[in-house]
């Protein structure tokens, strides 16, 4: 599949997952404990994708240039801090398993206080925060699929890891928003409208990023590299922000939640086996030896003939 078609397919699946998550609270009630377990598993996948896939791809896409790693880490930190500020400002990343228990969504210190009047308005801030997060998800998805380095390396499943992370996480976000709308006394019609609008944000983010890459094609590699590294930071912040509070405030479930986190990380790592072994090397090193002191095989000389400008 072409990168564009792959991105369209991914966006359609993510939209479907988001819509499904938005209507799930009316069909199924999840306990707080089961929700935490799902969150831990998804957090592990997101953390693994950010560190095993997005960050290495960001470095590789920037090319074999000095400071590529430093530049990628700078963009990663920018993404992490951006997501942190969105979360702190708009309380934009809380998950509610059951509308009937939505008052248990916790802000400061996970203290379970009841604020029915405040709860009616909380969904707006959370929806805004998660909307920004969804746009970031769209950027991550488009950057992963647009990575020409992956195309040249022969990767048939472009951006698969990023897609899986977004696909698994988006229903939880949609569920949180619609649950809070119901708890705050909002109508079913309002819940549906917000759910549909929220589902469209990932494709919008992906489309805006793809348009930017097209408009500035002469700097495409740098833009894609920055997008991948930024997304790695966002994913890392989301993963740790979801899980660490639960580990601290639910001591009896620490082993269970930690195990789910590890399983998620392992799943993310296993997805790397679907990629060519040399995909994480910089552009100029696609045919380079993978270990120090190993010389290039004679059969590779023809492949490098076009680049050996200084050999006569």
Look at residue 103 and tell me if it is in a domain: no
Which two three-digit tokens encode residue 257?
Answer: 């939640």
Q: Is residue 311 part of a domain?
A: no
How far apart (Å, rounded) are the C-alpha atoms in residues 281 and 224?
A: 15
Domain annotation covers residue 292: no
Q: Which residue has the tokens 């916790």?
A: 106
pTM: 0.77
Alpha-carbon span 92 to 107, nearest angstrom? 11
> Which domain range does residue 16 map to?
3-97+123-283
Query: What is the predicted pLDDT for the residue at 297?
Result: 43
Distance (Å, whole) CA 219 – CA 33: 47
What's the distance, CA 268 to chain centroid? 12
For residue 106, which of 127, 91, 123, 124 has the smallest C-alpha distance?
91
Number of domains forming the structure of the chain: 1
Q: Beta strands of 99-217 (E only): which ranges?
A: none
Calculate the dihedral angle through the C-alpha atoms of 211, 79, 47, 221, rounding to the nearest 10 degrees.
40
In a domain, 291, yes or no: no
pLDDT tens-digit map of 197-242: 999 999 999 999 999 988 888 888 899 999 999 999 999 999 988 7
Instruction: Give the whole-angstrom CA distance, residue 201 versus residue 85.
Output: 20
CA-based diameter of the chain, in Å? 79
| Six-digit token string for 133 | 């997060």
Q: By percentage, how much of the chain surpasses pLDDT 90?
A: 37
pLDDT of res. 254: 81
Domain assignment present for 258: yes
Average of pLDDT values for 3-12? 91
What average pLDDT is seen over the chain? 78
Residue of 74, 102, 63 lying closest to 232 (CA atoms): 74
Residue 310 is assigned to a structural domain of this protein = no
In-domain check, residue 160: yes
Q: Does 128 reside within a domain?
A: yes
């Amino acid at each position: 599949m072409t990168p564009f078609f792959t991105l369209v397919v991914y966006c359609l699946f993510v939209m479907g997952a988001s819509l499904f998550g938005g209507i799930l609270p009316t069909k199924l009630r999840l306990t707080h404990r089961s929700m935490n377990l799902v969150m831990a598993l998804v957090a592990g996948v997101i953390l693994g994708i950010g560190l095993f896939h997005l960050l290495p791809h960001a470095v590789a896409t920037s090319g074999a240039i000095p400071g590529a790693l430093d530049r990628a880490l700078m963009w990663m930190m920018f993404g992490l801090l951006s997501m942190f500020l969105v979360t702190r400002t708009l309380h934009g990343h809380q998950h509610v398993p059951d509308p009937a228990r939505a008052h248990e969504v916790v802000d400061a210190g996970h203290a379970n206080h009841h604020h029915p009047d405040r709860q009616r308005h909380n969904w707006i801030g959370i929806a805004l925060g998660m909307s920004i997060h969804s746009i970031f998800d769209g950027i991550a998805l488009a950057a992963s699929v647009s990575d020409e380095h992956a195309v040249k390396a022969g990767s048939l499943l472009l951006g698969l890891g990023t897609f899986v992370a977004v696909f698994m996480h988006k229903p939880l976000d949609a569920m949180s928003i619609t649950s809070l709308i119901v708890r705050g006394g909002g109508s079913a019609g309002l819940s549906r409208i917000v759910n549909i609008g929220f589902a469209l944000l990932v494709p919008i983010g992906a489309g805006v990023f793809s348009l930017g890459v097209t408009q500035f094609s002469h700097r495409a590699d740098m833009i894609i590299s920055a997008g991948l590294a930024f997304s790695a930071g966002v994913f890392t912040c989301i993963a740790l922000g979801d899980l660490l509070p639960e580990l601290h405030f639910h001591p009896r479930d620490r082993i269970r939640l930690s195990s789910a986190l590890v399983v998620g990380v392992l799943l993310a790592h296993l997805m790397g086996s679907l990629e060519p072994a040399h995909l994480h090397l910089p552009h100029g090193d696609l045919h380079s030896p993978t270990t120090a002191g190993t010389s290039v095989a004679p059969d590779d000389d023809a492949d490098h003939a076009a680049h050996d400008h200084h050999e006569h």
